Amino acid sequence: MQEEIPEWKCRAGSRYLYIDEHGDTQFCSAQRGRLNKPIIEYTRKDLRQHSKTYKGCESACSIFCGYRSSLVDNAPIDVIKALYQNWRRSVNLTLKKKRKFGSNRTKAAESLGISRRGLLNKIERYG
């Protein structure tokens, strides 16, 4: 990208803060020395200001956590889709595990010569 504005705007200095070992606020660990403002002097005004400005380093950013935290503002629909897909995936995995665990209990009960309900009662009683 030469003299073009990147497709995303970094939210470092606002949604994402890096505090160095001296207690100074920085945009991120890769851009140390650009802000150098003590955290106790960092205000809401600073947060608002830095959330709206391009930092100039977006096109070559290698700080994934800075990029990821900026996605909420840059691509909110994509974030919602990803959250939904991950939720669906976890629900499906949970259901598969329950089905598999349930069938294992049935097999265990059959091998012991008791009903599945009887096995469940023993599990509840003895932990």
CB 15 within 8 A of CB 51: yes
Provide the whole-model pTM: 0.50
Domain ranges in the chain are: 18-71, 78-126
**Tens digits of residue pLDDT in 12-60:** 888 778 899 999 999 888 888 888 899 999 999 998 888 888 888 887 7
Q: Which amino acid is at 36?
A: N
Angle separating helix axes 76-112 and 116-126, nearest 10 degrees: 100
Q: What is the CA radius of gyration of the chain?
A: 26
On average, the pLDDT of the chain sits at 78
H-only helix segments in the chain: 44-51, 64-74, 76-112, 116-126
Under a CB-based contact definition with an 8 Å cutoff, are residues 51 and 14 in contact?
Answer: yes
Question: Confidence class of residue 108 from pLDDT cuts 50, 70 and 90?
Answer: low
The Cβ-side half-sphere exposure at 96, using a 13 Å CA radius, reads 6
Main-chain dihedrals φ then ψ at residue 120, nearest 5 degrees: -60, -40
Instruction: Please tell me the distance from the alpha carbon of residue 120 to that of residue 58, in angstroms, as a whole number.
Output: 57
Contact 30, 67 (CB under 8 A): no
